[in-house]
Chain A
Amino acid sequence: MNAWPIILGMAVVTYVPRVAGLWLRARVPPFWQRFLRFVPIAVFAALAIPALPGGRGEAEVRILAGVLASAVSWRFRKLWLGIAVGMVAYWGLR
């Protein structure tokens, strides 16, 4: 698949909301403000959960490491720490 048109499309749909927000002097209705607040939660969960078990029979180890990483990230609010703990746990347990 040629990735170039997709990359350009992604660039356009990212830049347009960024620039539109700076130009518009409008207010987003409260319902849609809340909708937008939930978008990262919904999308990140939809990306993470199906990919968590993996396809090489390591589901238990990966889920355990994922839970540990989530707990660390939730507690300390540091993305890098969550990823580091998760990878170390995964390498240690597999």
Chain B
Amino acid sequence: MALLLSRDFVRGFRTVIPLWLGFVPFSLAYAMTARGAGLGVLETQLLSALVFAGGAQFSAVGLFAVGASGVEIVLTTLLLNVRHLLYGLSLSQRLLLTGPEKWVAAHLLTDEAYGVVLAEPHPSFAYLMGAGLSVFVPWNLFTLVGALLGQGVPDPAGLGVDFVFPLAFLALLAPMLRGGVEVGVAMLSGSIAVGGSQVLPGGVALLLAGVVGSFVGACCTAERPERSNPTEPEAS
């Protein structure tokens, strides 16, 4: 309780509030798409509470919709979320956490929380928790709203709700296209996904496109040893 009242906690929580505009529509769109793909309200909510990773949740819903296997969905999730390893590695250099604090903080480590904590000159565990919960609480609240709304929409496809899915990913992708290699990787992976889905199950085609694209990107940037920059705001 003392933690929730501490100045650092409140500061961390407040810093993330402007970002709500970014991810609240995203969580609504996710939940409505999930309901459209046939997931129940409880399942839609559990994904937000237990997985708590927007891109992976959205991908999983898309894969559910095309009837991908569980293995494909879990592997895609792993591929999308393994970047969180970098966030942890980088935070542990800057912020000393006790054992129990690490187990709790890990669940709240999102792009937004990481970015905000990294930008803070003197981060603390309380600050990290404030930033983390400032994502977790609205994310889960609006998942519930979207899941309940999604149930009430008679024909989501008629309204074009299925268009939100590619649209959200394009809008996430565009700000990351900062150079020729980035554009090339996006085009390569997009082509592999289009071509691969003709002959392979959707989930396998996606994994293949993800791994090949990332590998080619890493090979093509070998010349300039650029520091990885995971602070780019993914959903803001």
Binding site for B on A (CB under 8 A): 1, 3-11, 13-15, 17-28, 30-52, 54, 56, 62, 65-66, 69-74, 77-80, 82-84, 86-87, 90-91, 94
Cα(A92)–Cα(B24), bound, Å: 24
Residue B218 interfacial (CB < 8 Å):
yes
Determine if A45 and B162 form an interchain contact, defined as CB atoms under 8 angstroms apart: no
A-B contact pairs, 7 of them (CB 8 A): A7-B50, A21-B92, A22-B106, A48-B169, A48-B170, A74-B175, A80-B25
The contact string, 1 if C-beta is below 8 Å from chain A, for chain B 65-98, is 0010010011011111111111111111000010
User: A38 and B89 in contact (CB under 8 A), knowing A3-B39, A83-B164?
Assistant: no
CB contact under 8 A between A46 and B192, given known A6-B70, A37-B230, A41-B177: yes
Taking the nearest CB of chain B, how far is it from the CB of A61, in angstroms?
Answer: 9
**B88 close to A19 (CB less than 8 A):** yes
The interface residues of chain B lying within 8 Å CB-to-CB of A70 are 170-171, 173-174
Q: Which residues of B contact A5 (CB under 8 A)?
A: 70
Query: Within 8 Å CB of A40, what residues of B?
Result: 55, 80, 83, 172-173, 176, 234
Interface pair A6/B60, CB less than 8 Å apart: yes
| Contact indicator per residue, chain B 26-56, by CB within 8 Å of chain A (1) or not (0) | 1001000000000110010011001111011
Q: A24-B89, A70-B170 are in contact. Are A80 and B79 (CB under 8 A)?
A: no
A48 engages B166 (CB within 8 Å): yes
Contact (Cβ within 8 A) A26 B186: no
Asked whether, in the complex, the Cβ of A8 is within 8 Å of the Cβ of B50, the reply is yes
List of A residues within 8 angstroms of B119 by Cβ: none
User: What residues of A have a CB within 8 angstroms of the CB of B89 in the complex?
Assistant: 21, 24, 26-28
A91–B47 Cα gap in the complex (Å)? 29
Q: State in angstroms the CA–CA spacing of A22 and B192 once bound together.
A: 34
Instruction: Chain B residues near A83: list those with CB within 8 A.
Output: 25-26, 29, 164, 167-168, 171
Q: Is the CB of B166 within 8 A of A14?
A: no
Q: Do A41 and B160 touch (CB < 8 A)?
A: no
Chain B residue contacts of A17, Cβ below 8 A: 78, 81-85, 88
- Are B84 and A34 touching (Cβ within 8 A)? no
A10-B74, A21-B89, A31-B218 are known; give 13 further A-B pairs, CB within 8 A: A9-B74, A13-B81, A18-B109, A36-B214, A38-B185, A42-B212, A43-B79, A44-B173, A45-B189, A48-B190, A49-B166, A73-B174, A79-B22
A69 adjacent to B167 (CB under 8 Å): yes
Closest to A47 in B: B169
Expressed in whole angstroms, the minimum distance between the Cβ of B201 and any Cβ of chain A is 13
